[in-house]
Structure 1
Amino acid sequence: MSILVVGSVALDSVQTTQGSRTRVLGGACTYFATAASLYDRVNMVAVVGTDFPQEHLDFLRSRNIDLRGLQIVEGETFSWSGRYGEDVNVRETLDTRLNVFADFSPVVPQDYRDSECVFLANIDPDLQLAMLEQVRSPRLTALDSMNYWIDSKRESLARVLSRVDVVLLNEAETKLLAQEPNLIAAARLILSIGPSVLVVKRGEYGVMVVTQGESMEE
C-alpha cells in the first residue's frame, strides 16, 4: 500500500504548563507521515526553507518517508508559536509566519502519482484540490481542514470535499461547516456533499465516526 501526503512541515514553538520548546519539528504533514510510516512507506509533498535543520530531514528519512516531493527553497520555514493551558484541548496562537509556505505550489513527482492512499493535510483547499488533480486513481482519499478555511474559502472547501472519501473535523468545525448546531444533523449534511465517512475529532473523548445511516463512537 503506497501512501501520499501533502501539507505543512513547520518549526513550532510551544508553551505548556509543563515547560516550553522552541523551533521543534511540527506541522500536520510531519505528524501524519510519521504515524503512517508505521504501516508503509510514505511519500511526502511539502515545502521548507533553507533554515530547516538537517537533523529533522534525517529523522524523516529514518522513518521510511520519501522526501523527493519535499521542496527546499530559499527563505525561512513556516513557523507557528502557541500556548496551551491546563485544558490542552484549547490553544492560544501567539504567532504564525507562513514564510516559504506562502508561495507553496504542490508538485507531485511522477513516482507518487499512483499512490493508493492520499491524505490532504490541513492546508488551503485550493492546494488540496491541486494535489488531487495530480494523482491518478487512488483507492482512498482523506482530508483534514479547520475553521480558518471554512470561514475564508467555503466554496473551495466544498469542491474538494465532493471529491474525497473521508473528512476529518472537530466538533466545532463540523457544526460551522454545516451551519447546523446539532452534531449528528451537521454530520449528515457534510456527508451529503460527497464524502462517505466523517471522522469527528473529540479531543480526550476520542472520535465519532459517521457514515451514511450510522455513527460510532471510539
Structure 2
Amino acid sequence: MSLLTIGSVAFDALETPFGKTDKIIGGAATYITLSASYFTKNNNLVAVVGDDFPESMIRDLNSHGVNTDGLQVRVGEKTFFWSGKYHNDMNTRDTVEVQLNVMENFDPVVPASYQDCQYLMLGNTAPAIQKTVIERLNSRPKLIVLDTMNLWIEIANPDLMALLKLVDVLVVNDEEARQLTKEYSLVKAAAKIRTMGPQTVIIKKGEHGALLFQEDRIFFAPALPLESVFDPTGAGDTFAGGFIGYLAKTDDISFDNMKRAIIYGSAMASFCVEKFGAERIMNLTQDEIDERVSEFVKLSAFGLN
C-alpha cells in the first residue's frame, strides 16, 4: 500500500568518538524513506531543499524507489543544516549548529499523485507543518504515525496537542514521553498519551529497546547488543521507517502485526548505527535484513519446561 512521508531532507555534519564528517545527507524524512524502501515500493516524499542540494543525492533516493515528486527545490536558498557532536557514551550529544534555511518557511505541497496514500508518516518537524499535511489530503489515511521531539513539546505544545487528536500512533523516546505527560512511569505515560488522541504509543529506549502500548496490551522489543555503535544519528527515524514500511507492505495494522513491525524497525535501526549517516541503510540486501531479524527473534525466544 502507498506510504507518504513528510519531514526534513538535510545536510548533517557529525562528530563521534569514531571520527567526523563534513556535510552528508541527513534529515528525518531521508532516513524514514530509505528504511521504508526495503518494504514498500509505493514510497512518497514531501520535503524541501535548497538549490545547493546535489542532484546525485536525489538520484540516490530515486534509486531506492523513493518518489521525490513532492520534494521542493528552492532556488537561491540553502538546505536545512544540522551539526552535532556525540559524547563518549554515544547516548548524549551536543548540537553545535543549526541552520533552518528552507525549513523556516516550509509550506508542504502534496502532489495529486500522493492523495491516495493509505499510510502517513509524519516525520519530526514543526507540529503545524505536520498538521497541514493531514489537512491537505483529500481523505484520511488508514494509519497516521507521528514522530515528535522535546523541542516541540517545549515550544509548540498547543500545536502538538491539537495534532495528537488527529493521529493513530505516537512515536517518542522515554525522555520525551515523560516530558509530555509529567509521568516518570512509562506505563502511566503511555496511558496518559492515549487520552490525548493516539490509541497506540511506541516509546523508544535507545540501546534498551522499545515498548509498544495499545489498550491494555504491552509488547517489549529488545535492542540488538552491538560491539560498537559508530553513529546513532537517524536511528530513531530509521526505526520509524522500518515500522511503517512493514505495515504498508503487509497492510495489516493489528496489534500482533505491529509487534512484528517493531522488530523490523529495530533491525533497520541496528544497521543505521554501524556507519556514518545513512551510508549503511543505502546498501542493504534482503538476506542481511532477514538474518538481522532472526537475531532479534533469538534474543527474545525461550521455552518453559
SS at match of 1:32: helix
TM-score (norm 2): 0.70
Shift of 1:159: 1.0
Residue 54, structure 1, aligned to residue 55, structure 2: yes
Look up the equivalent residue of 2:152 and give its one-letter code: W
Residue 172 of structure 1: aligned partner: 175
Unaligned runs of 5+ in 2: 222-305
Distance 1:194 1:102 in 2: 28
Shift of 1:142: 0.1
Distance 2:68 2:202 in 1: 28
TM-score (norm 1): 0.98
Shift of 1:181: 2.0
Residue 83, structure 1, aligned to residue 85, structure 2: yes
Structure 1 runs (4+) deviating above 6 angstroms are none
Residue 128, structure 1, aligned to residue 130, structure 2: yes
Unaligned runs of 5+ in 1: none
State whether residues 7 and 123 of structure 1, in contact with CA within 8 Å, keep that contact through their aligned partners in structure 2: yes
Residue 217 of structure 1: aligned partner: 220
Residue 105 of structure 1: aligned partner: 107
Shift of 1:83: 0.5
| Number of matched pairs | 218
State whether residues 7 and 28 of structure 2, in contact with CA within 8 Å, keep that contact through their aligned partners in structure 1: yes
State whether residues 46 and 70 of structure 1, in contact with CA within 8 Å, keep that contact through their aligned partners in structure 2: yes
Q: Could you say which structure has the higher helix fraction?
A: 2
Q: Could you say which structure has the higher strand fraction?
A: 1
SS at match of 1:209: strand
Distance 1:55 1:205 in 2: 36
SS at match of 1:22: coil
State whether residues 180 and 186 of structure 1, in contact with CA within 8 Å, keep that contact through their aligned partners in structure 2: yes
After superposition, the C-alpha distances for 1:18-72 in whole angstroms (9 at most, x for unaligned) are 1111110000000000011111121100000000012211100101011110000
Identity %: 38
SS at match of 2:196: coil
State whether residues 168 and 200 of structure 2, in contact with CA within 8 Å, keep that contact through their aligned partners in structure 1: yes
Greater RCO (Cα-Cα under 8 Å, separation 6 or more) = 2
Of structures 1 and 2, the larger Rg is shown by: 2
Look up the equivalent residue of 1:199 and give its one-letter code: I
RMSD: 0.8
State whether residues 175 and 181 of structure 1, in contact with CA within 8 Å, keep that contact through their aligned partners in structure 2: yes
